A = this chain, B = another copy of it.
Amino acid sequence: MNEQVKKDIISLIENSRDAVVCSVDENGFPNAKAMFRRKNDGMRAIWFSSNRSAIHTQQWINNSKASVYFCNSEDISSLLLIGHMRVYTDNETKQLYWEQGDEEYYVLGPTDPDYCMLCFTAENGVYMSQKKNLFNIDDKMGAVTYKYDKGWCPE
């Protein structure tokens, strides 16, 4: 994959407020839900916040297989990332990713037992724009280190 395509993929992710995130239910059916992208490390890892009691969270606890789909309907580009979703329920991770306004959804604050963080880790992807790009995620791929400074910013 050339550098421009990598840049286009990262740009699609970072210009998307939300993504459609997919799980597999207990009967083997694919499920989908739009979720706000909280944070991303290039195209390798994407963080979402969620309710621990939500159906899709339970599905990922039982089966971590997941995908994340971004689509820009204006230029008809899309990105499907396939990988695993890990559910974080520890207070350290929850506090690390807590943002102002989250109390609207998790009224008990960063240690609300129904608040959890989800980290999707990509293994493979399909990027469609002018042409189709199939790729594997490797160590050099779109990794950006974030630091926390009143919100997460690329270093």
Contacts and interface: CB of A to CB of B under 8 A. Distances in A.
A105 to B, nearest CB: 13
Determine how many copies of this chain the complex contains: 2
A29 interface: yes
Contacts of A80: 31-33
A32 B67 contact: yes
Interface residues of A, number: 27
B22 A31 contact: yes
A32 B28 contact: no
A78 to B, nearest CB: 6
A65 interface: yes
A2 to B, nearest CB: 22
Q: Is the interface of A mostly helix, strand, loop or mixed?
A: strand
Contacts of A30: 22-24, 30-32, 65-67
Nearest to A24: B30
Contacts of A73: 18, 34
Contacts of A31: 22, 30, 67, 80, 82
Interface in A45-84: 55, 63, 65-67, 69, 71, 73, 78, 80, 82-83
Interface of A: 18, 20, 22-25, 27-34, 55, 63, 65-67, 69, 71, 73, 78, 80, 82-83, 126
Given A24-B30, A34-B78, 11 more contacts: A20-B20, A20-B69, A22-B31, A23-B30, A24-B28, A24-B29, A27-B65, A30-B31, A30-B65, A30-B66, A32-B69
